[in-house]
Amino acid sequence: MFLKRVVITGIGTINPLGNNVKEFSLNLDKGISGATLIDRFDTSLFKTKFACEVPGYMPVNFGFDRKEERKIDRFTQFALISTAEAVENANIDLEKCDMRRIGVIIGSGIGGLESVNSEIMDYVEGQPPRFSPFLIPKIIINMAAGEISMKYGFRGPNFATSSACATSSHAICVACGIIELGKADIMVAGGSEAPIIVPAVGGFNSSHALSTNNEEYKTASRPFDKTRDGFVMGEGAGTLILEEYEHAVNRGAKIYAEIIGCGMTADAYHITAPHPEGLGAQEAMIAALEDANIAPKDVDYINVHGTSTPIGDVIELKAVQEVFKESAYNLNISSTKSMTGHLLGAAGVVESIACIHAIDSGIVPPTINHKVADEDIDAKLNLTLNEAQSRDVNIAMSNNFGFGGQNSCLIFKKVK
């Protein structure tokens, strides 16, 4: 069966490093940390008192009036903001499009948990049992995709993915497949997350997943460093406009990259821990390479999952070495979570944007905050430590692995 080619013609994001793609890209190249002390709630009783927040976020600054703010959870607001940039960036004349052939897949790991928390707290603190009529639409994960379709009139396939940290990578994989099969011309794909709230921070603290390095919070997200002690939570959203290649060419669209490979697997092992041999991660990378019909030596850069957890970082790098063999030493590898923190369900798409930026600019973003080498990590690997590196990136890979053992791998290629 002949599959159609899928390219990226629009990009948008809001995340701890910027309110748009330009700001994000500049801060990536500079190696800026997005970590700050949490000011959204009192953290005095929490083990972790910091996160990577979207700086100074106020809904009114992005066109949401008070009425809209009460109706739409923060994670959906983020999704609408990143999508507005992506749609504008793609320069699509929507009046000339068949809206039945434009779909939306926007995922989230935990959806509107902030709204759930707020309403429950009002109830237990003695307020009358009067819940907002918008509570359910605010919390359900598919509402971000729904709001986007209603804003623009997109009537193609519309739903959400939810697979923890692999969520938005899965959204991109599935959206890509829909276009490959000829079932849509354009797909809006990505993810959004707003988890910097009491139950999320408390829950991840209880599972010992978050860094508790409050004294050095600015540099606490330190993938591959021997002193790493957990991930730093982040928030935000990212959106890609995926388009069938001929459709994009015919309208004269700017093409940022082509999606040439998708791999999706499961560890089938543990609810939170990765497979000790990185089996699922290996199989996801192998599946993506086979889908792309390329060899490991063809890949220039891998944006690894690299969460800054003691176990996960080592296992992932060993999985990379198992798949890439000697070619692993010719790669640039980096974890941009060292700067953005871990955006959970939005991580995959934001890191895909980092890969696209590397392809477009020839600058590989760094893994910052590295000071102490870990003897369990091969010192010969180029982990792009502390400073960005110049490189002609023709093919880039992005890895994302979620709780539940759900793995996703994407491969992007420069279109010449």
Q: Which of 247, 275, 305, 370 is catalytic?
A: 305
Catalytic residue from among 165, 176, 262, 409? 165
Whether the CA torsion 165, 169, 170, 172 is positive or negative: it is positive
Tell me the C-alpha distance between 324 and 45, whole Å. 45
Provide Rg for the chain, Cα atoms: 20
| φ/ψ (deg, to 5) at 375 | -65, -15
The Cα–Cα gap between 360 and 55 comes to 26
* 148 vs 188: CA distance, rounded Å: 9
**Under 8 Å between Cβ of 340 and 233:** no
Helix axes of 143-152 and 74-90: crossing angle, nearest 10 degrees: 40
Catalytic residue among 170, 247, 275, 342: 342
Is residue 342 flagged as an active site residue?
yes
Alpha carbon separation from 282 to 41, 183, 245, 276, 289 (Å, rounded): 40, 30, 29, 11, 11
Please spell the DSSP secondary structure of 260-301, one letter per residue.
EEEEEEE--S-SSSPPTT-HHHHHHHHHHHHHHT--GGG--E
Is residue 80 within 8 Å of 70, Cβ to Cβ?
A: no
The span from the CA of 384 to the CA of 381, in Å, is 9
Half-sphere exposure of 68 (CA within 13 A, CB side): 14
Q: What is the DSSP letter of 347?
A: H
Neighbours of 361 (CB within 10 A): 15
Active site residue ranges: 165, 305, 342
